[in-house]
Chains A and B, each alone.
Chain A
Amino acid sequence: EDQVTQSPEALRLQEGESSSLNCSYTVSGLRGLFWYRQDPGKGPEFLFTLYSAGEEKEKERLKATLTKKESFLHITAPKPEDSATYLCAVQVTGDTGRRALTFGSGTRLQVQP
């Protein structure tokens, strides 16, 4: 069974204090790993897709990396507006072709001014 585990569950940072969120996964075959941001009362907002080990993507203060077992979302010099829940999801290979995502439970990030 495909599993995605995110840690920590919650993280509180001071503005400017860099940190990393972890997403470890166990899947039969990885087609893609996705990072989303979710604000309270809203739907997930797409951030990144990673397809192969060693791949990295960057957007503003965020950088996502991927290995064969886990992904990290690095947040550099965060600002209060980066406060949100960050979700990791995997899409697996296989013959179903449905491309449904399996999500982790998320990391709630709070950045204090």
Chain B
Amino acid sequence: GAGVSQSPSNKVTEKGKDVELRCDPISGHTALYWYRQSLGQGLEFLIYFQGNSAPDKSGLPSDRFSAERTGGSVSTLTIQRTQQEDSAVYLCASSLDGDTQYFGPGTRLTVL
């Protein structure tokens, strides 16, 4: 079946611009996660959605980062006023049971 998909695969933007990254989870998966993988860093948790519950935003690094999930499916991660330190690969994962997380291919963000 179809896995997690993300778009765009690559995004180059200028410092100060806003960007939106999209994630389509596996159909039927109620849990959705965003992670960030920076060069030389491990994956770090950003935000978690579970069903209709309020999202867990405890991993967001600043208030420039926000995310929403519409209809319990597609999610959009928005970064406002991008900075060079935001350059990273942004990974989305989804889970059916809250345990095993299946990752998408990621969006590589480059902030010039």
- Docked Cα-Cα span, A68 to B67, in Å, equals 36
How many residues from A make CB contacts under 8 Å with B? Answer: 25
- Docked Cα-Cα span, A87 to B35, in Å, equals 14
Chain A positions near chain B (C-beta within 8 angstroms)? 31-32, 34, 36, 41-46, 49, 87, 89, 91, 96-106
Other than the given A34-B100, A100-B48, 16 more pairs (CB < 8 A) read: A32-B99, A43-B4, A43-B93, A43-B104, A44-B43, A46-B103, A97-B50, A97-B98, A98-B56, A99-B95, A99-B98, A99-B101, A101-B35, A103-B43, A104-B42, A106-B42
CB distance from A26 to the nearest CB of B (A): 15
Interface residues on B, range: 20 to 34
CB distance from A4 to the nearest CB of B (A): 8
Chain B positions near chain A (C-beta within 8 angstroms)? 4, 31, 33, 35, 41-45, 48, 50, 56, 58-59, 91, 93, 95, 98-106
Residues of B within 8 A of A32 (CB): 99
Residues of A within 8 A of B95 (CB): 99
- Docked Cα-Cα span, A101 to B102, in Å, equals 12
Residues of B within 8 A of A105 (CB): 41-42
**B98:A103 contact, CB within 8 angstroms:** no
CB distance from A78 to the nearest CB of B (A): 23
